[in-house]
Homo-oligomer: A and B are copies of this chain.
Protein backbone atom coordinates (compact mmCIF):
# COMPACT_ATOMS: atom_id res chain seq x y z
CA UNK A 1 0.00 0.00 0.00
CA UNK A 2 1.19 3.47 -0.91
CA UNK A 3 0.40 6.98 0.25
CA UNK A 4 0.36 10.19 -1.81
CA UNK A 5 -0.41 13.73 -0.72
CA UNK A 6 -0.43 17.04 -2.55
CA UNK A 7 -2.24 20.34 -2.65
CA UNK A 8 -4.44 22.16 -5.17
CA UNK A 9 -4.27 25.95 -5.07
CA UNK A 10 -7.42 27.84 -6.07
CA UNK A 11 -8.00 31.55 -6.58
CA UNK A 12 -11.68 32.47 -6.37
CA UNK A 13 -13.14 35.68 -7.80
CA UNK A 14 -16.63 35.97 -6.32
CA UNK A 15 -18.15 35.70 -2.83
CA UNK A 16 -19.95 32.48 -3.76
CA UNK A 17 -18.32 30.44 -6.49
CA UNK A 18 -18.37 26.81 -7.58
CA UNK A 19 -14.99 25.71 -8.95
CA UNK A 20 -14.84 22.40 -10.83
CA UNK A 21 -11.60 20.76 -9.64
CA UNK A 22 -12.16 17.30 -11.18
CA UNK A 23 -9.37 17.61 -13.76
CA UNK A 24 -6.91 18.81 -11.15
CA UNK A 25 -7.74 15.90 -8.84
CA UNK A 26 -7.39 13.49 -11.80
CA UNK A 27 -4.00 14.98 -12.61
CA UNK A 28 -2.79 14.34 -9.03
CA UNK A 29 -4.17 10.80 -9.21
CA UNK A 30 -2.07 10.25 -12.34
CA UNK A 31 1.11 11.62 -10.79
CA UNK A 32 0.57 9.47 -7.67
CA UNK A 33 1.06 6.20 -9.60
CA UNK A 34 -1.53 4.63 -7.29
CA UNK A 35 -4.14 2.60 -9.17
CA UNK A 36 -6.66 1.38 -6.61
CA UNK A 37 -7.76 2.82 -3.29
CA UNK A 38 -9.39 5.93 -1.86
CA UNK A 39 -8.90 9.61 -2.76
CA UNK A 40 -9.70 12.14 -0.03
CA UNK A 41 -10.32 15.76 -1.09
CA UNK A 42 -10.24 18.13 1.91
CA UNK A 43 -10.60 21.90 2.12
CA UNK A 44 -8.43 23.63 4.73
CA UNK A 45 -10.86 26.53 5.16
CA UNK A 46 -13.92 27.06 7.38
CA UNK A 47 -15.88 29.13 4.85
CA UNK A 48 -15.70 26.67 1.98
CA UNK A 49 -16.88 23.15 1.19
CA UNK A 50 -16.45 20.24 -1.21
CA UNK A 51 -19.30 18.51 -3.03
CA UNK A 52 -19.73 16.15 -5.95
CA UNK A 53 -22.47 16.87 -8.46
CA UNK A 54 -23.27 17.68 -12.08
CA UNK A 55 -21.37 20.44 -13.89
CA UNK A 56 -24.40 22.21 -15.38
CA UNK A 57 -24.46 26.00 -15.12
CA UNK A 58 -28.17 26.42 -14.36
CA UNK A 59 -27.98 23.78 -11.62
CA UNK A 60 -25.01 25.56 -10.08
CA UNK A 61 -27.08 28.76 -10.10
CA UNK A 62 -29.91 26.86 -8.40
CA UNK A 63 -27.47 25.79 -5.68
CA UNK A 64 -26.51 29.42 -5.00
CA UNK A 65 -30.21 30.32 -4.64
CA UNK A 66 -31.19 27.41 -2.40
CA UNK A 67 -28.27 27.92 -0.03
CA UNK A 68 -29.21 31.63 0.16
CA UNK A 69 -32.78 30.57 1.08
CA UNK A 70 -31.53 28.18 3.76
CA UNK A 71 -28.77 30.38 5.22
CA UNK A 72 -29.33 33.98 4.06
CA UNK A 73 -26.29 36.19 3.63
CA UNK A 74 -28.18 39.11 5.23
CA UNK A 75 -29.40 37.17 8.27
CA UNK A 76 -28.78 38.31 11.83
CA UNK A 77 -25.72 36.45 13.13
CA UNK A 78 -23.68 36.96 16.30
CA UNK A 79 -20.42 36.12 14.55
CA UNK A 80 -20.87 39.10 12.22
CA UNK A 81 -19.80 41.36 15.10
CA UNK A 82 -16.30 39.92 14.52
CA UNK A 83 -16.20 39.11 10.83
CA UNK A 84 -18.97 39.63 8.28
CA UNK A 85 -19.13 36.01 7.15
CA UNK A 86 -21.26 33.96 9.54
CA UNK A 87 -23.40 32.78 6.60
CA UNK A 88 -20.24 31.43 4.91
CA UNK A 89 -19.27 29.37 7.96
CA UNK A 90 -22.82 28.05 8.49
CA UNK A 91 -23.14 27.02 4.84
CA UNK A 92 -19.80 25.22 5.09
CA UNK A 93 -20.99 23.29 8.18
CA UNK A 94 -24.07 22.09 6.29
CA UNK A 95 -22.36 21.09 3.01
CA UNK A 96 -19.20 19.65 4.59
CA UNK A 97 -15.52 20.09 3.89
CA UNK A 98 -14.36 16.83 2.35
CA UNK A 99 -15.26 13.94 0.05
CA UNK A 100 -13.69 10.48 -0.25
CA UNK A 101 -13.81 8.94 -3.71
CA UNK A 102 -13.00 5.37 -4.81
CA UNK A 103 -10.04 4.87 -7.15
CA UNK A 104 -10.16 1.89 -9.54
CA UNK A 105 -7.65 0.90 -12.22
CA UNK A 106 -6.01 4.33 -12.14
CA UNK A 107 -9.28 6.28 -12.49
CA UNK A 108 -11.61 8.01 -10.04
CA UNK A 109 -14.75 5.86 -9.90
CA UNK A 110 -17.06 8.80 -10.59
CA UNK A 111 -20.40 8.28 -12.32
CA UNK A 112 -21.12 9.88 -15.71
CA UNK A 113 -22.47 13.12 -14.24
CA UNK A 114 -20.22 13.46 -11.22
CA UNK A 115 -17.74 16.33 -10.99
CA UNK A 116 -15.85 17.43 -7.86
CA UNK A 117 -16.45 21.04 -6.82
CA UNK A 118 -14.66 23.36 -4.49
CA UNK A 119 -17.40 25.56 -3.03
CA UNK A 120 -16.32 29.10 -2.13
CA UNK A 121 -18.66 30.80 0.36
CA UNK A 122 -16.49 33.81 1.31
CA UNK A 123 -14.46 34.83 -1.73
CA UNK A 124 -12.62 36.17 -3.43
CA UNK A 125 -9.76 34.37 -1.69
CA UNK A 126 -6.72 32.16 -2.26
CA UNK A 127 -7.57 28.63 -1.15
CA UNK A 128 -5.80 25.31 -0.65
CA UNK A 129 -7.35 21.88 -1.01
CA UNK A 130 -5.44 18.80 0.19
CA UNK A 131 -5.67 15.60 -1.88
CA UNK A 132 -4.61 12.40 -0.09
CA UNK A 133 -4.51 9.02 -1.84
CA UNK A 134 -4.16 5.66 -0.07
CA UNK A 135 -3.97 2.51 -2.19
CA UNK A 136 -1.77 0.35 -4.37
Whether A90 pairs with B114 at a CB distance below 8 angstroms is no
Q: Which residues of B lie under 8 Å from residue A8 when comparing CB positions?
A: none
Closest B residue to A91 by CB, please name it.
B66
Q: Which residues of B lie under 8 Å from residue A5 when comparing CB positions?
A: 36, 102, 104
Whether B38 pairs with A59 at a CB distance below 8 angstroms is no
Whether A79 pairs with B102 at a CB distance below 8 angstroms is no
In the assembly, how many copies of this chain are there? 3
Q: Which of A9-17, A22-30, A105-113 faces chain B?
A: A105-113
Residues of chain A from 82 to 122 with CB closer than 8 A to chain B in the complex:
82, 86, 89-90, 92-102, 104, 109-111, 113-114
* Distance from A2 Cβ to chain B, minimum over Cβ atoms (Å): 8
CB < 8 Å neighbour of A42 from B44, B62, B109: B109
Given contacts A44-B109, A62-B79, 17 further A-B contacts (CB under 8 A): A5-B104, A38-B38, A42-B102, A46-B52, A46-B54, A46-B114, A53-B89, A53-B93, A56-B79, A56-B82, A58-B82, A62-B78, A66-B71, A66-B90, A94-B95, A100-B100, A111-B128
Q: Which residues of A contact B (CB under 8 A)?
A: 1, 3, 5, 36-38, 40, 42-46, 51-54, 56, 58-59, 61-63, 66, 70-71, 75, 77-79, 81-82, 86, 89-90, 92-102, 104, 109-111, 113-114, 128, 130, 132, 134-136
